[in-house]
Amino acid sequence: MIRKKILLLGDFNVGKTSLIRRYVDNTFDDKYLTTIGVKISKTLCTIDEISCEMIIWDIEGATPSKEIPLHYYRGASGAIFVADVNRKETLENLEKHQAVFLAQNPDSSFVIAYNKSDLLLEKEKDTFTLEKYTFFTSAKEDINIETVFLALMEQIIQ
C-alpha cells in the first residue's frame, strides 16, 4: 500500500473542510466551522489497481495577518488548492499559496478546486480558464469531489 500526505490549502472560508468531509465521510454541513491549526483525516482509494492511503491535512485558512507554518508543508506529496469562485480575492491568492507550497515541495503534484461552483450561473463559468488539473467543485452538491482527489493521487503515483 502506498501512503501519501495531501494538503488542502487556500484562504479561510473557501470550503477546504467541506471538501474533505464530503470526500471522506460523504457528508455536508453548511455551518461554518473555522479550522484551527490542522486536522488530519485518512481514507483509502485505488488507482490503477494500486491501493493508496491518503493522509489528508486540512490546514487552517491563510489570512493577510496569519501565515501557515512552513512545517505543515513538509513531506507532502501533493496539494489541492481551493478557492471560492464567488470571492475574487481567494482566486487571486491561489498563486501565492502555490508558490509557498512548491518552494517547500518542488517535486510535488497539485490540482486546483474552484469551489462553491453550485452558486455560479453557467455563463459565469465561461469566464474561468480550466486547465487539465483544474476543476469546478461543490461540496454541497457533491460536484467533482471524488474527481479532484483522485486526479491528484493519479498525478502523484505516475
Q: DSSP assignment of 86-115, as one string?
A: T-HHHHHTHHHHHHHHHHH-TT-EEEEEEE
Domain that holds residue 38: 2-157
Among 5, 35, 7, 41, CA closest to 21: 41
pLDDT at position 61: 80
pLDDT at position 69: 83
pLDDT at position 122: 79
pLDDT at position 43: 97
Residue type, 74: R
Number of domains in the chain: 1
pLDDT at position 71: 87
pLDDT at position 64: 64
pLDDT at position 30: 80
pLDDT at position 123: 80
- Coil/strand/helix, residue 7: strand
The pLDDT tens digits for 30-41 are 877 777 778 999
Kindly give the parts of the chain with pLDDT less than 70: 62-66
CATH (domain of 25): 3.40.50.300
pLDDT at position 36: 78
Phi/psi-derived region of residue 116, left when phi > 0, alpha when psi is between -120 and 50, beta in every other case: left
pLDDT at position 63: 66
Q: What is the grid cell recorded at 6?
A: 495531501
**CB 109 within 8 Å of CB 156:** yes
Give the angle 43-46-51 at the CA atoms, nearest 5°.
80
